[in-house]
Amino acid sequence: MLFNITFGIIIPWIICSYFFTKEPRLVILLFPLGTTIAFLINDLGLVLFWTVTPVYLNPTLSIIPYNIGYFPMIAIIFAYVLKKRRIHPFHLVLLFTLVVSFIEYIFLLTGKVVYHTGWNMLWTGITYVIGFGLCILYIKLSSSYRLLAKKETGI
């Protein structure tokens, strides 16, 4: 569990703190979104389609560090890149899906994640596409209410 806490919470929160100094509004808006999407997808899929080690009596304990650290960090980095770089949102979703799926593949190879009942990397990629798509919709909605300026988001 020390691994999960270190790589799921401590390192991501340090990275999020850096982004907070650069773009506090972005972090304030995207951190809860990343957490919400992570809990939603992981609560639906955990145990049925995948498990995260170590496995406890309550199997969600092992994924909580990632839900409140790693996944919100990914959402923040995604939004930051979308804001700062002139990359088409479709290409950015594809790029982030490939990178994050590769990271999960490493976790799969090392046994930190175990797939069940036909779950595979393709389904994993689809869940990431859905998550990043929700981020784009949220960013557009936030921009339309001037929580994020439209010119700042790149969308």
pLDDT of residue 30: 96
Q: Are 108 and 115 in contact (CB under 8 A)?
A: yes
pLDDT, mean over the chain: 93
High-pLDDT (> 70) share of the chain, %: 95
pLDDT digits (tens, 9 = 90+) for 101-143: 999 999 999 999 999 999 999 999 999 999 999 999 999 999 8
pLDDT digits (tens, 9 = 90+) for 45-76: 998 999 999 999 898 999 999 999 999 999 99
pLDDT top residue among 56 and 152: 56
Q: Are 147 and 83 in contact (CB under 8 A)?
A: no
Domain residues of the chain, as ranges? 2-153
The pairing of strands 50-52 and 113-115 is antiparallel
* pTM, 2 dp: 0.91
Confidence of residue 151 (pLDDT cuts 50, 70, 90): low
Distance CA 1, CA 8 (A): 10
Checking if the pLDDT of 18 tops 90, the result is yes
Distance CA 88, CA 5 (A): 34
Structure token digits, residue 81: 């890149």
Provide mean pLDDT across the span 80-99: 95
